[in-house]
A and B are shown apart, each in its own frame.
Chain A
Amino acid sequence: MRRTAAVALVASICAACASSAPGASATASTDLPDAGFGPPDAGSSQPPDAVDGGTAVARDGGSPPAGPLAFCPVPGPSPSNAAEAVPGLSTSCESLRLDPSEVPAAADFGLGTMGANCRGATSDATGTAALLFNSSGSTSYQPYAIFRDGDAGLQGGATAAMVEPQPSGFAIVGAHADLRYGYRDSFFHFSFSEDPPPLVNDQEIIAAAPPSGGALVAQFTWNLDKWFIGAARFDRAGRPLSSPLDLVEGPLQQGQPVLAVAVATGGDGLVGFSGELLGDPGSVYGIWVLRDGSSDRRPIQLAQAPHRRLLLRPLADGSIAVGGDGTWLVQARPSGEVEPAPPWLAALSGHDVLLRASGSGYVVPSPGSPDRTTGCAPFVQLRAPAGNLCATVGLQHQTADAYLGLDGTLFARFYGLPCDFGACCHLRWWKGALP
């Protein structure tokens, strides 16, 4: 990673920024060694080969976005606006700085046709990036990840539906969807472990990781009589903290709930689910799983409305925000209390809210159309721990989404840019930009 300036500027004043250099594409090979990121399944962990136009093929050279990729200010609410701040939390914007001269790492992928796409990105605390893809429909939308370091280039790949960053490495929910793997399954494992995946299923597995490492994993299991929602906690070495717990069960005829997980800053985790198994499909419930893996298994009603898409996110005050179908509903505390979502959060319908690993503020992906006069397209909001807006940062190219890694790496995904054939994926990332 090249740093051309050591002095960080507050993003909101970077209208005066000099243009940063064009994205510098890292070279990558299509031969993807496993490099220890997959489960010990003799090759099943590798991403599909680039044989059917459905797999990422990295391009060399200065691919799009062409020209300068500078942060730019987006007009909006006053950065000093603290009216929406949560009392008792820091309103400081001091640590929310982006270096306008930082040259982002870059990767451009031609993905072919039939629904192949890139789904996201994250990074571990060492700065290794995980770039997430789905291959094309011809390979059953096989999810996979490519791991790369801004300095060392490609490190390997793995089947990966979810990737949760660890201090070094990743917790991975893998999935064998492509028929070439034979039976379809999903499995949870740590990239740094040679042990068999501790959880294997043919149903959904989801995971969330705290910044300190380890993971909370939730999954469905079932038999002829019942559905079960279970959870398991793992420490930062990948060891289970307890046997998998059954949190809730219900008749098979009730249908499968929707599921979400998150870990609060204090280490306790919340498993959220729609209420089918409790005979109340019109509500959303949660059960806390503590940092030691224990749980009182007491369902807490989080919302009295049906939601088919749940999203849980940690907040700076130690609570977990509960979102349903794009709306932030409530915040749940490990004490069992449930409160309305704070106003600043409730106003962010349709936006993800990414708490920085340090807890010192939020990044809110806010892709938008470019301003006709300045050409500056909204990219992310930067918010203080109290929720007050510090800045809306734009880029000179419209983004599709933004992601934040554990080391503070800020990722931008672009779309609508030309590539050789079919879908394109263009990623740029600023390593350690917002730790």
Chain B
Amino acid sequence: MSLLALLLAASECAGLFRAAAATPPVTLPGNCLMPVVDATGSVAEACAGSQSYRSVDGATLGSSDFAATFLAARARGFWALGNAPDRSLLSIDRDGKLLGSLPAPLPGGDVLQTPLLLPDPNGGAIIIDVVAQPGASATSTPSWQWPWQVVLRRVSEAMTVVDGPRIIDRGPSQAPTFQGQVSTDGTFVLTERGWHFPPLRNNQIAARWFDARGAPLGGWFLALDQAPFGGPALLLGDGSVLIEGRYRRTRLAKDPLPAPVWLPRELVTSAGPSVFVLPDRIAVMRPSSTSCAIDLEIRAPSGDLCGSQTLQLSTVGGGVCLQGFAVVGQDGTLLVRDYSQKALQVWPRLFAPH
């Protein structure tokens, strides 16, 4: 590494490490899903039909009873999917207050298919519906053979539709089920198995970029070969999107590029996500070789390694090491949720921007 590169790396890494003081483990209800944390430090958990909201420092913020599951956190509050009495997309504030809802799916859409909600890093969200309807002369054809349309709506954080609905793509039959990711510049990519888009095949992943208003930026293209399933797995700091299959991955920066070599082989382990891309750093977590700890690797947005540290986990439930899913919130808080022991350990704002 040249002196200049060393200096740049040192500059990128400056201030990324800080003392790692965890709160004592707290006992929580069981039957909860993975918590999400917004940029204000509100921790939201959906547990058996109700939701709780607390600050990363432990203060209770509120509760709700929406029969909902959280889809994502944002700068303030959360996106959620409500399942009762009708399926709807919800916007919930940091204390559980309902900010707005949107029936899902669109009229004519498949009631069994959940619309795709893509949080926009710049605020709001894009909602993608796939609507299949019989053509004028094809009312007798089975529904899976109906032509389909992709409909975009952009919503505010109050779940108000601020753009659309607008048809952004269409196909002749066999409605796709898309995955997607909004990039840092507001463009977004949709992916689906390649067989929907001849000449691509069943063992390929197809992708297509759209601008922020849904205008296609080119056609469907081969994103990942020898991959019968897979999709967006990570938004990287440079706005490119990591597409991952079972054996292969690629990086889409409008066109396919090699995946960064520093990415670990497993983005998701049995203990949950292992890579978290934050605005000013990347955190890579692995179970530690020492007992009851997490090995933490901090990298600059460029991927350069800044350093590593070991975080000690608490013991709970009579001396059992806390183990479970790690989550990094939008405020930089690290949580480790142990489901069998119903315990949560929190490192408030460990990765907060400096």
Contact = CB atoms under 8 A, between A and B. Distances in A.
A183 B228 contact: yes
Nearest to A44: B246
Interface in B199-223: 199-203
Given A41-B247, A200-B246, A228 B229 contact: no
A202 interface: yes
B23 to A, nearest CB: 32
A200 B198 contact: no
A42 interface: yes
Contacts of A198: 226
Most chain B beta carbons < 10 A, residue from A41, A44, A222, A224 = A224
A296 interface: no
A198 B203 CA distance: 12
B97 interface: no
Interface string B259-274: 0000001100000000
B274 to A, nearest CB: 12
B11 interface: no
B124 interface: no
A222 B246 contact: no
A45 to B, nearest CB: 11
A197 B201 CA distance: 17
A224 B248 contact: no
A199 B226 contact: yes
A80 interface: no
B247 A226 contact: no
Interface string A210-228: 0000000000011111101
Contact of A224 (B173, B226, B228, B246): B173
A39 to B, nearest CB: 7
Given A41-B246, A183-B229, A201-B203, A224 B172 contact: yes
Given A223-B198, A224-B173, A42 B265 contact: yes
Most chain B CB neighbours (cut-off 10 Å) among A41, A44, A198, A200: A200
Contact of B202 (A40, A42, A202): A202
A222 B227 contact: no
Contacts of A225: 198
B203 A221 contact: yes
B204 to A, nearest CB: 8
B115 interface: no
A196 interface: yes
Interface in A404-418: none
B247 A223 contact: no
B247 A39 contact: yes
B196 interface: yes
A222 B202 contact: yes
B266 A203 contact: no
Contact of B227 (A40, A200, A228): A200
Contacts of A223: 194-202
A44 B245 CA distance: 13
A225 B194 CA distance: 12
A199 B202 CA distance: 12
Interface string B232-269: 00000000000001111000000000000000011000
A149 interface: no
B27 interface: no
B228 A202 contact: yes
A203 B246 contact: no
Contacts of B201: 221-223, 228
B198 A224 contact: yes
Interface residues of B, number: 23
A196 B248 contact: yes
Interface of B is mostly: loop
B202 A221 contact: yes
B308 interface: no
B83 interface: no
Given A41-B247, A183-B246, A224-B196, A202 B203 contact: yes
B179 to A, nearest CB: 13
B194 to A, nearest CB: 7
Residue with the greatest number of chain A CB neighbours at <10 A, chosen from B173, B199, B246: B246
A133 interface: no
Contacts of B226: 196-201
Contacts of A226: 198
A60 interface: no
Nearest to B265: A42
Contacts of B245: 200
A196 B249 CA distance: 11
A42 B266 contact: yes
B174 interface: yes
Contacts of A224: 172-174, 195-198
B225 to A, nearest CB: 9
Contacts of B265: 40, 42
A201 B202 contact: yes
Contact of A200 (B195, B196, B247): B247
A202 B200 contact: no
B206 to A, nearest CB: 10
Contacts of B229: 183, 185, 202
B199 to A, nearest CB: 7
Nearest to A176: B246
Contacts of A185: 228-229, 246
Interface in A206-244: 221-226, 228
Contacts of A199: 203, 226
Interface in A169-206: 183, 185, 187, 196-203
A34 to B, nearest CB: 14
A134 to B, nearest CB: 22
A274 B172 CA distance: 29
Nearest to B206: A223
Contacts of B174: 224
Interface in B295-346: none
Nearest to B247: A196
Contacts of A187: 247
Nearest to B194: A223
Contacts of A221: 201-203
Nearest to B245: A200
A394 B196 CA distance: 55
Nearest to A197: B247
Contacts of A203: 202-203
Contacts of B200: 223
A222 B247 contact: no
Contacts of A202: 202-203, 228-229
Contacts of B198: 223-226
7 contacts: A197-B226, A199-B226, A201-B226, A202-B229, A223-B195, A223-B196, A223-B198
Interface of A: 39-42, 44, 183, 185, 187, 196-203, 221-226, 228
3 A-B pairs with least C-beta separation: A196-B247, A202-B228, A223-B195
Given A196-B247, A197-B247, A202-B203, 17 more contacts: A40-B247, A41-B247, A44-B246, A185-B229, A187-B247, A200-B226, A200-B245, A201-B202, A201-B203, A201-B226, A203-B203, A222-B202, A223-B197, A223-B199, A224-B174, A224-B197, A228-B201
Interface of B: 172-174, 194-203, 226-229, 245-248, 265-266
